């Protein structure tokens, strides 16, 4: 069989580029619009952050949350040099609003 009969595209190199994620957390006696959290993380760690948020919500540490990739408008407004990993961003929220992410 000739190698040209079944052309195959070359495999793209694997790139672990951090994505920018946005979350909004609502806590008891917190602001009506929620607490915004923006952080950078690869896809797998972003899903870990979603799991942490879901667990905190199910254990009543937070009332509600929204989570996803940052929108185009959010990307325009942020300073990428000051972005933090999700652990540091969640820790800052935990200190301010007394959230125990591990509970």
CB 99, CB 62: distance < 8 Å: yes
Which pLDDT does position 16 carry in this prediction? Answer: 63
From residue 4, alpha-carbon distances to 7, 9, 12 in Å are: 6, 12, 20
What ranges do the domains of the chain cover?
A: 19-97
Residues of the chain under the 50 pLDDT cut: none
Which pLDDT does position 80 carry in this prediction? Answer: 84
Q: Tell me the three-class secondary structure of 39-87, residue by residue.
A: EEECHHHHHHHHHHHHHHHHCCCCCEEEEEECCHHHHHHCCHHHCCEHH
pTM, entire model: 0.77
Which pLDDT does position 7 carry in this prediction? Answer: 67
Smallest CA-to-CA distance from 35 within 96, 87, 103 is with 96
């Amino acid at each position: 069989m000739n190698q040209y009969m079944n052309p195959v595209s070359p495999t793209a190199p694997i790139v672990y580029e951090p994505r920018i994620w946005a979350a909004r957390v609502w806590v008891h006696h917190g602001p009506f619009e929620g607490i915004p959290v923006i952080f950078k993380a690869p896809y797998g760690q972003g899903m870990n952050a979603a799991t942490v948020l879901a667990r905190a919500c199910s254990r009543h540490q937070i009332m509600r949350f929204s989570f996803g990739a940052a929108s185009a408008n959010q990307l325009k407004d942020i300073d990428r040099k000051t972005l933090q990993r999700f652990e540091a961003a969640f820790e800052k929220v935990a200190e301010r609003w007394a959230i125990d992410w591990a509970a």
